[in-house]
Copies of this chain bind each other. A is one copy, B any other.
């Protein structure tokens, strides 16, 4: 065990997995060269279009013990994870490592079954709530590895995460594998997560329900990255992929908090020409983006770009000239998908481009502000988005740490408690985002500014602020102190920071602790 820079105990290794402790948000530099897959060749007339997923599994030589990947742009409408795993299971292949970007609630039943049957024995990638709960209560031999969006591309590039076969859904593709996500009934927007898989996986299978004549354009992933193409009936359910325009919060307290974020931005001089921000989904983030757009219009300010999960609110800003560009690695609604296809100033980017710190530069490092949520925040401004206070691993890290590290001002919005659980507390259950990258905490009981940011404190002088410790005290007054957890010696998860180091581990809670 070694203490990392956050004071968390990190084992040197868990099984065959070596862990490198977090040393500071920008303290760990990369070493060595990128890895790359075996070079393949082909002759004219090579047939890449296969009749079924089963045939693709045979052709790529998928065997027990190999790792496979999926992107999650089809979100809760995705059929591909289930279809592929079903075929793998039918063939008697076992001990598969999932190296997906994320899975959703709809995958819970199938994945739980495949875990029980030994088809899937390890996960590196984000889990959804119900599957996270299952894994938290029934940890496998190998902990789940959770990475930020940036870290996933970085660990792929340097070979710390290996993918044997990437099964990549496309809403339009040709018989050679040129493909995109913006055309067809199952359109889902940019292929942001899939780029790194297409670069670093040994084998790439494109799965589409919309086979186009060659060449299919626009080309997100080009044919020279694709080994095979499979046309299926349906890659997903449009209702689960993009749900129209997401709903803005209607809760008055949350609307007030969103408004406070905008007021603070204005005091900080951020509501000015050239503003770059990270948008987000979720009711409160949507409210911030909407209010920000309104305030920018009022002040006749033109922003430079928005990035992140793009929604219709960002598209509205693009259309009325309130923002010059949208950089889209992930679309959250139909408006974002259609605008990506139609608007020249709305462009697709990879998650490597989005947030990889071990690159020559990335988009999040150009941000003025980002607006993020939390499951917990501690008095050192460390943020948890991975576990709930019962140490259940219920969420991925997403781009949270990537945006926080890159933004000049990182806003966290959170109530001070939820039900009987204090959210602002002495110590978060799990550190996702280090406090050194978090600047302004907006809660339902006041605003706290990270004392490291003397520049912000100066600019905000005169505004009502509270020390974060007071917010914690108010929370504890309502709920009592956080529940104490007792752990077994098993590990449920490893939380990898954007540079590949470990901010925290998620331990297995003693069964009697569960309600």
Query: Which residues from chain A sit less than 8 Å from chain B, CB to CB?
Result: 26, 29-46, 48, 157-158, 176-177, 204, 213-215, 217-219, 222-227, 274, 276, 304-305, 324-325, 327, 344-345, 347, 349-350, 352-353, 356-363, 365-366, 405-406, 408, 499
A sample of 13 cross-chain residue pairs with beta-carbon separation below 8 angstroms, ordered by A number, consists of A30-B39, A31-B39, A33-B38, A35-B36, A39-B158, A39-B359, A42-B360, A43-B357, A45-B365, A215-B325, A217-B325, A222-B353, A223-B362
Q: Which one, B31, B48, B222, B274, contacts A349 given CB within 8 A? A: B222
Q: Decide if the interface of chain A is mainly helix, strand, loop or mixed.
A: loop
Closest B residue to A36 by CB, please name it. B34
B274 touches A358 (CB 8 A): no
Q: Which one, B29, B177, B324, B365, contacts A360 given CB within 8 A? A: B177
What separation, in Å, do the CA atoms of A44 and B436 have in the docked complex?
Answer: 14
**How far in angstroms is the closest Cβ of chain B from A226?**
6
What separation, in Å, do the CA atoms of A340 and B224 have in the docked complex?
Answer: 21
Residue numbers in B under 8 Å from A224 (CB-CB): 352-353, 356, 359-362
A360 touches B406 (CB 8 A): no
Residue numbers in B under 8 Å from A157 (CB-CB): 36, 39
**How far in angstroms is the closest Cβ of chain B from A496?**
16
B39 touches A366 (CB 8 A): no
What separation, in Å, do the CA atoms of A406 and B177 have in the docked complex?
Answer: 17
Q: Which one, B40, B217, B405, contacts A347 given CB within 8 A? A: B217
What separation, in Å, do the CA atoms of A214 and B327 have in the docked complex?
Answer: 11
Residue numbers in B under 8 Å from A35 (CB-CB): 33, 36
Can you add 18 more A-B contacts, CB < 8 Å, to A41-B499, A214-B366? A39-B157, A39-B359, A41-B359, A42-B357, A42-B361, A44-B365, A44-B366, A44-B408, A46-B365, A177-B360, A214-B305, A217-B347, A222-B349, A224-B356, A224-B360, A226-B360, A226-B361, A227-B360
A361 touches B176 (CB 8 A): yes
**How far in angstroms is the closest Cβ of chain B from A402?**
11
Residue numbers in B under 8 Å from A41 (CB-CB): 29-30, 357-359, 499
Residue numbers in B under 8 Å from A225 (CB-CB): 360
B304 touches A214 (CB 8 A): yes
**How far in angstroms is the closest Cβ of chain B from A52?**
20
**How far in angstroms is the closest Cβ of chain B from A80?**
20
Residue numbers in B under 8 Å from A345 (CB-CB): 217
A365 touches B36 (CB 8 A): no
Residue numbers in B under 8 Å from A217 (CB-CB): 325, 344-345, 347
**How far in angstroms is the closest Cβ of chain B from A24?**
11
B34 touches A37 (CB 8 A): yes
Residue numbers in B under 8 Å from A406 (CB-CB): 44
